[in-house]
A and B are shown apart, each in its own frame.
Chain A
Amino acid sequence: MFRRIGLVLAILVAIVIYAYGFEVTQVNLEELGSPTRQQSLARILRALARPDFLEYEQEEFVVERPIYVPCPEGGAPAITPPAAGAPSLDAPPCADPESTIIVSGHNFAPNTGGPLNFIPPSGVSLQLARIETDGGGNFVLSVELRDRTAEEAQYLRAVTRRNVGWPHLSTNGAETIAKILETVFMALLATTIGTALAIPLSFFAARNLMRTVTSPLTSVALSVVAVPIGAWLGLLVARSLSLSGYQLSDSIAFNIGGVLLLPLLIWGLLLWIMAPTRASATTGGAQPSRAPAAVAVVALVIIGAAILAGYALADLLLLLGQSLEPYLADFAFLGGFLANIGGILHLLIAPICALIGAGVLMSYAGQLGQTLVERVEPGTGKVINLVLGALAGATLAALIGAVLAWFYELRDPALTLYWPALTGALAGAFVAFRTPYNASLPVGLTIYTVARTVFNALRSIEALIMVIVFAVWVGIGPFAGVLALGLHTVAALAKLYSEQVESIASGPMEAILATGANRLQMIVYAVIPQIVPPYISFTMYRWDINVRMSTIIGFAGGGGIGFLLQQNINLLNYRAASAQILAIAIVVSLMDYLSSAMRQRAI
């Protein structure tokens, strides 16, 4: 009984919902059927059916005949008849304005068309009718003259056009091809950037990998403090080792030397450090025979050498690209590409060093925390935790304060630094007070949740909207489109990838862990082999999506074919727009086919 009432209610609610839907979407059947609308529809559909892609060279025949409007007193002067067989136009020699006359033509090219114009003394063309010649090259038209009067002769002019030779690309066709290529490459770059970033990030958003990552509060607090310090140190080292601006760094020979010699030095030093541990690994327990202090110094030298080598490589690419560009003629873009890669590498070294610095210091802080928890008495541990918790809370709050200060341009340190730090410290200490000193905190799940939230938020903002910000940043054009699509791709792929990681078989992971492997080895040996096929397949699929997206991202300033399409639509140039729509359809369906074929291969 209640179920039946519920069903009736559900149907009523559904009716109301759809009725309101009709109302707000302004469903209007009258507009659908109105004759003027249908005419417009027919016009646009016909234009779309004739894409402006190919065109012919056209030959134009012009035949003129004078006509007096109105008839002069004493009759019109005689007209010399045309040569026999030459195209000729026949009409009364004179007529009244707005009267209807018969115009006929002879010896025109058969089956051609064009306008029949009336030319008053001002020289402007007024179209009277369209000419369609029959198989014999003749036509007869009945036309109404315009209300233009003059004493001298006015003219009837028949213009017929004929296609000659082979069809060739129209200007619009050539532009369309150039832009669709630009579009495909936009999609390629965006997918590459997105994939490169999404692969490492996806592991942080995989629940099955992150769930088991836990650490005690001491480690967490130490890590929180260590991250900004490590990032700052990394940045400092990278900046101080950058040679840009010095005379020496502008020499190609110097940079070649750096690229060749520094890796050799690094290799030698690495062997020096690793040789003894490798030998002892089989007997169990690492017994480093080098003094720890010496190892530390050598490790620092290696890091410095690696950074220098990175800079040398970047500058070398930049210099090579720039100096090759003038000699490459048509392939100058290759030189530009080298220089660009060098420039990007040079820019990336500092942030990478900051990331590595943060990562290394964080991992040491984590280990230190673990050791503290194992060695220290519970009472002392509690005190240490209170202090570290307060420090970590203050650091977090100060960082958040700095971000807010930047966004809202607050300049009062009391508001953005002192008070937040104090509150953070109190909150941190409170958390430390409430948490048992050796309890394992679910750090992994926290990172997982944060990563998932960020990805979902980024994914929910369409690339079409992101491109607005990027177009302001780097200017309207394909580069803005690449950045917007790239960012959206990172979020979307990271989520898809991480779901793949979550769905892999857990057996092999368990088996690899059981051999005594560490977490990283487990990922390399048990996780990565399982996710290669789905990762390839998703990357292909994403390229497919990006091609589709990049065709319309130009509507919002992202360059590519969408930009052209939008222009033509706004100019009501539907035949040109039709060519672009056609190009998009062809490329998208080709990509569809290609990506599915390649995906099938990968699995």
Chain B
Amino acid sequence: MPEPILQIQNLTKVYDNGVRALQEVTFAVPKGEFTAIIGLSGSGKSTLLRCINRLIEPTAGTILFNAVNVTTANDAELRHVRRRIGMVFQHFNLVHRSPVLTNVLAGRLGYVNPAWSLINRFSAKDVDKAMQQLDRVGLADKAQNRADALSGGQQQRVGIARALMQDPVMILADEPVASLDPVLAHGIMQYLEQINQEDGVTVLCSLHFLDLVHRYADRVLALNGGKLMFDGPPEAIDDAKFKEIYGKEAERVG
């Protein structure tokens, strides 16, 4: 087994209102793996992904990313961790009124000189890089359009380009295709697969549909009520496991 890029031990998150979103979650992700996280809405998938780069502060447990302890990192260390972890969101989270190019360049903010970036100045090298990433997701001609002028699928591709600008070693994808129709969904998943296989970027992706999991993931983590219920290859999810993860009433489709 290759050396793990991410090690999570006993991760627990209790929100201020008492909701236990994660309970003692422990797992490790080897470098270069495509891991899917499944579970019902509210099972803790988003919380788990956001704890990894501490967009949400974990209550207890440790997270090691590239052998750096994320949970105890101070501000500067945390920003160094974050800039190597690209993140793709369900609602794309682009800045609507900004041009597509600016949205992509924003992925570079962790690297550039803060003073220059405050007046929206990026080096020619960064701009070239941004154009390359846009070209890669097939949107080079939209660089100057406002982000909200793009369709949902296009916006998600901009989101991926932004994550790629970070030179990530890992990408966290939080339901990246949940707001898209099935055809577009495969398109987006193929980009993630390509980044995983060609660039060797580790992908941790929460998904709703089991068929997407079977098609793209090397490994599945299943959460239910904040607890890790299953950790193994997609083929190992039999009917019994399925009921355990999704509850007794759930019907298996496909």
Interface residues of A (CB under 8 A from B): 274, 277-278, 281-282, 284-285, 370, 374, 505, 507-508, 510-518, 520-521, 524-526, 529-530, 532-533
Identity of the chain B residue whose Cβ is nearest the Cβ of A519 in the assembled complex: B75
Contact A511 B80 (CB under 8 A): no
Q: List 5 A-B contacts (CB under 8 A).
A: A281-B112, A282-B111, A282-B125, A515-B107, A520-B114
In angstroms, Cα B55 to Cα A594, docked, is: 44
Given A507-B91, A524-B118, decide whether A515 and B166 contact each other with a Cβ distance below 8 A: yes
Q: Which of B80, B91, B96, B116 contacts A516 (CB 8 A)?
A: B80
11-68 of chain B: CB within 8 A of chain A: 50, 53, 55
| Contact assessment for B55 and A515 in the assembled complex, using a CB-CB cutoff below 8 Å | no
> Are B95 and A529 touching (Cβ within 8 A)?
yes
Task: Specify which of A285, A517, A524, A532 lies most central, judged by the most chain B CB atoms within 10 Å of its CB.
Answer: A517
Do the beta carbons of A526 and B95 come within 8 Å of each other? yes
Residue B109 CB within 8 A of the other chain: yes
Q: Which residues of the partner chain A approach B92 to less than 8 Å between Cβ atoms?
A: 507
Q: Given A505-B93, A511-B89, 12 more contacts at CB 8 Å? A: A278-B113, A507-B92, A510-B50, A514-B85, A514-B87, A516-B84, A518-B79, A520-B114, A520-B118, A521-B114, A521-B117, A521-B118
Would B94 and A517 count as touching, CB distance under 8 A?
no
Indicate whether B106 reaches chain A with its CB closer than 8 angstroms: yes
Bound complex: CA A284 to CA B89 (Å): 26
Q: Can you list, as one digit per residue, whether each of B92-108 has a CB less than 8 Å from chain A (1) or not (0)? A: 11111110001000111
Residues of A within 8 A of B219 (CB): none
Q: Give the distance in Å from the alpha carbon of A374 to the alpha carbon of B78 in the complex.
A: 14
In the complex, chain A residues whose CB is within 8 Å of the CB of B4: none
Query: Which B positions have Cβ atoms within 8 angstroms of A?
Result: 50, 53, 55, 74-75, 79-87, 89, 91-98, 102, 106-118, 120, 123, 125, 159, 162, 165-166
A511 touches B118 (CB 8 A): no
Most buried by B among A510, A511, A515: A515
Residues of A contacting B: mostly = helix
Closest to B88 in A: A511
Could you say which residues of chain A place their CB within 8 Å of the CB of B108?
515
Flag if A516 contacts B95 (CB, 8 Å). no
How far, in angstroms, from A285 to B77 measured CA to CA in the complex? 10
Q: Check if A530 sits within 8 Å of B114, measured CB to CB.
A: no
Q: How far is the CB of B131 from chain A (nearest CB, A)?
A: 17
CA distance A353 to B136 in the complex (A): 48
Check A510–B89 contact: CB distance below 8 A: yes
CB distance from B49 to the nearest CB of A (A): 10
Residues on the A chain within 8 Å of B53, using CB:
514
Is B110 a contact partner of A525 (Cβ separation < 8 A)?
Answer: no
Closest to B146 in A: A529
Flag if B55 contacts A524 (CB, 8 Å): no
| Nearest chain A residue, comparing its CB with the CB of B80 | A516
On chain B, the residues within 8 Å of A278 by CB distance are: 113, 116, 123
Q: B114 and A510: CB pair below 8 A?
A: no
Distance in angstroms between the alpha carbons of A141 and B89 in the assembled complex? 94
Contact A277 B113 (CB under 8 A): yes
User: For residue B112, which residues in chain A have a CB less than 8 angstroms away from its CB?
Assistant: 281
Chain A residues positioned under 8 Å from B96 (CB to CB):
508, 529-530
Say yes or no: A517 contacts B109, CB within 8 Å.
Answer: yes
CA distance A518 to B108 in the complex (A): 12
* Chain B residues with CB below 8 A from A526, complex form: 95
Shortest C-beta distance, A553 to chain B (Å), equals 36
For the complex, give the distance between the alpha carbons of A281 and B107 in Å. 14
Residue of A nearest to B125 (CB): A282
Q: In the complex, are the beta carbons of A515 and B82 less than 8 A apart?
A: yes
